[in-house]
Amino acid sequence: MTPHDYDFLRTLLKQRSGLALSDEKQYLVESRLTPLARKTGLGTLDALIQKLRGPDAERLTVEVVEAMTTNESFFFRDKTPFENFREVMLPALKAARARDKRIRIWCAAASAGQEPYSLAMTLKEMAREVEGYRIDILATDISTEILEKAKSGIYSQFEVQRGLPIQYLVKYFTKIGEMWQITPDIRAMVQYRPLNLLRDFSNLGSFDIVYCRNVLIYFDQPTKADVLSRIGNIVTHDGYLSLGAAETVIGLTDLFKSVPDRRGLYAPNKSVANVVKFPSRSVA
């Protein structure tokens, strides 16, 4: 791949997905797009790039973006965000929503579904505490291919061994050949929808909890600030934002502030006047 071709791909990916690739990431592009070139019958990476430069390249462009933005995930990743969910977010919101008994959760960049399903299993384990409450989980990702996998709830032995407690595997999964499938009741707790974080998402309505983990790290600073600002406008005044271990709002937006002693957890900064707060929630 020539430097000119690499610059073309970097610009394309930045425009379509927000992915900001450094000069040192050419190996990553080659490792992910060479198999795609073979899969699509183009054979080589050079032929794929030539096709991308031509007319009628939209479908291939989508496949390229999906190949480059599909990142691994695993159940109960990093543990802390799920401890925060059980110990901080859910108890506070349960008390605050005692009248309407509804809580909305958005998992942005949900990948193959391990994060939203981890939340769904957590809620099942807390059934007594949340009895009578309607808790909606919306999971989105830019990749329609990975969302199909998420909807199926089918995972390999390797995938279920990563982070999933054995008791949850026994309770919430069924063995299908060499694979494992999440039970229908858990799958029914999560709604999936394709969504590009670079596009307007205000039509999703408001959310009490937003998980936007391990995706901002791929964006440049202006894109991070823009996404966080727009998330700030759809989080309820007493809601929460959960970011990845390597992510922060510091220096990017003043719409959120850290929750003391809770790593990766943020709450709306109520002293900031332009935070938009919704009195009610629209159905996603």
Is the pLDDT at 131 greater than 80? The verdict is: yes
Same-domain status, 155 and 233: yes
- Is position 147 within any domain? yes
Same-domain status, 190 and 157: yes
16 catalytic per annotation: no
- Is position 8 within any domain? yes
Instruction: Report the predicted TM-score, pTM, of the whole model to 2 decimal places.
Output: 0.85
CATH code of 244's domain: 3.40.50.150
pLDDT on residue 174: 96
Range of the domain at 171: 80-268
CATH code of 50's domain: 1.10.155
Same-domain status, 45 and 115: no
Contact 45, 245 (CB under 8 A): no
102 catalytic per annotation: no
Active-site residue identified among 32, 102, 162, 263: 32
Active-site residue identified among 5, 136, 141, 208: 141
Number of domains forming the structure of the chain:
2
> Which of 69, 95, 121 is the last residue in one of the domains?
69
C-alpha separations of 192 from 169, 228, 242 in Å = 22, 21, 19
Same-domain status, 14 and 121: no
CB-based contacts of 217-222 (< 8 A; 24+ apart in sequence) = 217/244, 217/246, 217/247, 218/18, 218/19, 218/20, 218/69, 219/18, 219/19, 219/20, 220/14, 220/18, 220/20, 221/251, 221/252
Query: For the residues of 4-49, what is the DSSP string, one character each?
Result: HHHHHHHHHHHHHH-----GGGHHHHHHHHHHHHHHTT--SHHHHH
Q: Please provide the average confidence, as pLDDT, over all residues in the chain.
A: 90
pLDDT on residue 15: 87
Beta carbons within 10 angstroms of residue 169's beta carbon = 16
pLDDT top residue among 279 and 206: 206
Same-domain status, 58 and 87: no
Is the pLDDT at 280 greater than 50? The verdict is: no
**Which candidate, 243, 204, 238, 201, places its Cα nearest to that of 224?**
243
- Is position 275 within any domain? no
Report the first-to-last Cα separation within the chain, whole angstroms: 43
Is the pLDDT at 277 greater than 60? The verdict is: no
- Is position 274 within any domain? no
- Is position 144 within any domain? yes
Is the pLDDT at 284 greater than 70? The verdict is: no
pLDDT in tens, 30-51: 988 998 999 989 989 999 999 9
Give mean pLDDT, residues 221-225.
93
**Which are the contacts of 81, defined by CB distance < 8 A and separation ≥ 6?**
211, 213, 242, 264, 265
pLDDT on residue 229: 95
**Which candidate, 150, 151, 156, places its Cα nearest to that of 175?**
156
- pLDDT class of 68 with cuts at 50, 70, 90: confident
- Is position 136 within any domain? yes
> Which of 41, 69, 97 is the last residue in one of the domains?
69
pLDDT on residue 283: 39
When mean pLDDT is compared across 139-148, 231-240, 268-277, the lowest value belongs to 268-277
pLDDT on residue 61: 92
> Which of 35, 69, 103 is the last residue in one of the domains?
69
Same-domain status, 120 and 153: yes
Token look-up 């919306």 returns: 138
Same-domain status, 136 and 11: no
Same-domain status, 64 and 86: no
Same-domain status, 95 and 32: no
Is the pLDDT at 56 greater than 60? The verdict is: yes
Give mean pLDDT, residues 131-154.
94
